[in-house]
Amino acid sequence: MKKYLWDTGIKTILTGPADLGARAENAVLMELSRNKPAVGYFAEREREVDFIVGGADKFIPVEVKFISSFDWSEKKFSGIKLFLRRFPRTRELLLITRSVDTELKEGQTIVRAIPLWRFLLSSTSYLPALQ
């Protein structure tokens, strides 16, 4: 189980400033909380998707990978791929990155990768489930 803090300064004091990925994930959760959608997560066999936004009938998985380059074949995306196998009707997946801005199609799913700063500026435009 992951733990998130409302104040990432406390985490930085406790663990140091090195883990930018964890801080990015925390920032995404804070933005999601600000917009008040239903937020959950997916975990199975030590693989996970950080956030599932929306309800049972309309949802968007959101994964935070603070990366500057993107290779869909890398193992770090195994949780997302497992989720897509379990929920093949998923139409859209949002990948929050450090600087990658691209889109690809995986089966019937559009995988949209956007930089964190862009998500934080206009999260509702990327998550129709919030509207």
Domains in the chain, CATH or no CATH each = 19-130 (3.40.1350)
Q: Quote the pLDDT of residue 117.
A: 96
Q: Quote the pLDDT of residue 63.
A: 97
Q: Quote the pLDDT of residue 5.
A: 59
Q: What is the pTM of this model?
A: 0.87
CA-closest candidate to residue 41, choices 27, 33, 52: 52
What is the token pair recorded at 119?
A: 């998500």
Mean pLDDT, 10 residues at a time, the chain of 131 residues? 63 71 86 84 93 88 96 96 95 96 95 96 78 54
> Residue 54, by phi and psi: left (phi above 0), alpha (psi -120 to 50) or beta?
left
Q: Quote the pLDDT of residue 97.
A: 97
